[in-house]
């Protein structure tokens, strides 16, 4: 008989063991003669030395799996302990461009040179602007970087904001209360998160405030510590609004600002805060700019042709 303890590192016990230890109960089925006791982040084993050693190897694999994919299902646990690997789910296949593995094992990675430039510049700069036309993956890459930072415990929360600017439509004519009127503006952020996080995990993060999605105006008066904050569609923020957002930056925070200067929906007499920022912040140490173009478009090939046809001369609707 032997005894050993394992510590869960870089994960919450619930992520690994499941709600009510449902995942741990699956593991117990494979070690009927071994006592397995979980207390917080420590798992204590009492049993045969061979069982303890086998548990350690498989438990380590489970931890790496959750770190990469964000979750582990009961079926996957059965596969691990039966020696069966699920298709395309080996963490070892990671390459340097992979940011996160999303729902169903979807690989979310930087796919173009400028998207990879976004990833590398985000590592070396606490404030980054990503500017480019529709379909270049600015928002998607930004959200993936934020999810990765949250999973790796580099930040404690994600803040996603957008200006609620009417693009040829009148908010007053939309049905519902204020939230119902604003949610359509924030939908692309929800869509990206749904690709990258399990449904229950995303709902939990939204409910407890780990992930917050809100109109830009809701950022006023706050200090965002230990946060990865993204301002999307920044071309529709005025210079004062953008200054307000940028000055929310707190300790151990990352700020990523995305926008398309060819799709400005502000009234003609108002200057775009994003255009203003490209001039006054371009030489500030710690702030960097990445410019994406039609070569980075990852949507249908016709989008590239449309962008070229318009030539960036008129505002369009995404």
Task: Please state the separation of Cα 60 from the chain's center in Å.
Answer: 25
| Confidence at residue 318, expressed as pLDDT on a 0 to 100 scale | 40
Interacting residues of 269 by C-beta distance below 8 A, sequence separation 6+: none
Q: What is d(CA 142, CA 136) in angstroms, rounded to the nearest whole number?
A: 11
DSSP 166: -
What average pLDDT values come out for the chain (318 residues) when binned by 10 residues? 82 79 87 89 89 84 74 79 52 59 74 91 95 91 93 91 63 53 74 86 89 90 95 94 96 96 88 95 94 82 76 47
Which domains are delineated in the chain?
A: 2-92 (3.30.1370.10), 95-310 (3.40.50.300)
| Confidence at residue 182, expressed as pLDDT on a 0 to 100 scale | 61
Tokens 């084993």 appear where? 45
pTM over 0.85: no
Asked whether the beta carbons of 72 and 23 are under 8 A apart, the reply is yes
Interacting residues of 109 by C-beta distance below 8 A, sequence separation 6+: 95, 97, 98, 99
| Confidence at residue 286, expressed as pLDDT on a 0 to 100 scale | 93
| Confidence at residue 226, expressed as pLDDT on a 0 to 100 scale | 96
Strand partners, 101: 107
Sign of the CA dihedral running 96, 99, 102, 108: negative
Q: How many CB atoms lie within 10 A of CB 227?
A: 25
Q: Which helix (H) or strand (E) holds 4?
A: strand 2-7
Q: What is d(CA 220, CA 215) in angstroms, rounded to the nearest whole number?
A: 10
Phi-psi map region of 18: left, alpha, beta (phi>0 left; psi -120 to 50 alpha): left
Q: What is d(CA 188, CA 207) in angstroms, rounded to the nearest whole number?
A: 19
Q: What is d(CA 188, CA 216) in angstroms, rounded to the nearest whole number?
A: 15
The b/e string for 91-111 (b: 16+ C-beta within 10 A; e otherwise) is eeeeeeebbbbbbeeeebbbe
Asked whether the beta carbons of 157 and 227 are under 8 A apart, the reply is yes
Tokens 């904001």 appear where? 161
Per DSSP bridges, beta strands 227-231 and 2-7 are unpaired
Dihedral, CA of residue 192, residue 15, residue 76 and residue 92, to nearest 10? 70
């Amino acid at each position: 008989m032997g005894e050993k303890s394992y510590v869960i590192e870089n994960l919450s016990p619930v992520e690994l063991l499941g709600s009510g230890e449902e995942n741990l109960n699956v593991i117990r089925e494979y070690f009927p003669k071994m006592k397995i006791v979980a207390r917080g982040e420590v798992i204590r084993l009492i049993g045969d030395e061979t069982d303890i050693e086998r548990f350690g190897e498989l438990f380590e694999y489970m931890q790496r799996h959750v770190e990469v994919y964000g979750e582990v299902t009961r079926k996957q646990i059965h596969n691990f302990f039966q020696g069966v690997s699920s298709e395309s789910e080996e963490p070892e296949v990671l390459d340097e461009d992979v940011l996160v593995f999303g729902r169903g094992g979807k690989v979310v990675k930087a796919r173009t040179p400028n998207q990879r430039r976004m990833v590398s510049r985000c590592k070396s700069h606490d404030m980054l602007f990503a500017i480019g036309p529709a379909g270049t993956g600015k928002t998607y890459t930004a959200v993936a970087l934020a999810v990765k930072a949250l999973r790796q415990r580099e930040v404690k929360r994600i803040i996603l904001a957008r200006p609620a600017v009417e693009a040829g439509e009148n908010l007053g004519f939309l049905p519902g209360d204020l939230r119902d009127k604003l949610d359509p503006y924030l939908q692309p952020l929800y869509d990206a998160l749904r690709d990258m996080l399990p449904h229950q995990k995303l709902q939990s993060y939204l409910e407890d405030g780990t992930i917050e999605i809100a109109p830009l105006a809701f950022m006023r008066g706050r200090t965002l510590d230990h946060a990865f904050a993204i301002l999307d569609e920044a071309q529709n923020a005025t210079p004062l609004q953008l200054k307000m957002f940028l000055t929310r930056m707190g300790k151990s925070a990352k700020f990523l600002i995305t926008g398309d200067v060819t799709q400005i929906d502000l009234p003609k007499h108002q200057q775009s805060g994003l255009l203003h920022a490209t001039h006054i912040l371009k030489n500030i140490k710690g702030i960097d700019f990445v410019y994406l173009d039609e070569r980075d478009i990852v949507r249908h090939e016709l989008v590239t042709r449309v962008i070229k046809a318009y030539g960036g001369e008129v505002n369009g609707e995404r």
